[in-house]
Structure 1
Amino acid sequence: MNMTHYMALLADNQPWNLILFMAIPVILAETVAITELFILFSRKLNGTLRQINRFASIVGGIYFTGVFIYLMKTAVIPLTATGGWLGAADVIAVGFYLSGIIPLGGMTLLDLGLICKAWDDERKLKLHAIFVAIFLVVAHIAMIFGMLDPTLLMSDAPMAGMEGMHH
């Protein structure tokens, strides 16, 4: 089966690429998401859960910034320059994966006090939760399209099983 560059990246250099590009960012993001739920329900804006949430948010954003820069330099720019993309699914998977920098970076900037300084805690909590939700959506879109055979969304590729069918 053909693989998107997203899936090939995770499959190569086992288990290291899977750990570096999937496990670490996802574990940090899921830690933020899970602790966020408890914080939202309890409205307890300080304490151990908030410290874990803040730590995972800041480390996750900084870590993913490094991943983003590395993959832009070693994959996105070279693939774009050489026409190496494998179709729409490939571009969608990698694009949505890398778009995780927006919500992860936003959470980091918020938790470091670099944005929305004048906002009250309730408004900051709401924005933080929105960033978590956006990250979960873009990460799952990346995973879904990343697992597709990239030829499925290519216009000149016949659909499997459809070659002999008539209208």
Structure 2
Amino acid sequence: MITYYDDRSVQVTSTAVRVDGRSYSLAEITMVWHRRGSRSWRVLVGRGALGAALAGPLVAAVLGIGLAVWLHRSPTVTIAIVGASVLVGLAVGPVADFLFEHLDRSYARGSRHLEIWARWRGQPVRLLQTGDALRFGQIYRAVQRAMEHTQPARPTARR
């Protein structure tokens, strides 16, 4: 038996697909397909908030420099405002790595619910529903590989 995918709730082997305790024999699966749900606005708003958090200090720094030039104060005051603005802009540095990691994870998870369906014993059955795009892709490809290896080889024509 070959294992194509295995985690705590899904196992795809050369004989069956097991999801949350239910087992579907590959010999009884005739077709596999997937569906994408609608976009999750919650995920998209979260990405926007992360982008704003990354851009906020930089925008504040640029506005501070513009304010310093616009006020036409003494060179000491102008340098102080520009210096404070640059420090605000630099504040994004230590936080940026943390925010970029969360932004990257949000894209790996995806913004839609994804489903894997199969025709099992002649009936359509939803094998899996997940919002994690990376995990979905791994499982869907594992099911495809398992199905490819269980189909009998077609005889070739001899000449």
Could you state the TM-score of these two structures normalised by the residue count of structure 2? 0.31
Structure with greater proportional helix content: 1
Structure with greater proportional strand content: 2
Could you state the TM-score of these two structures normalised by the residue count of structure 1? 0.30
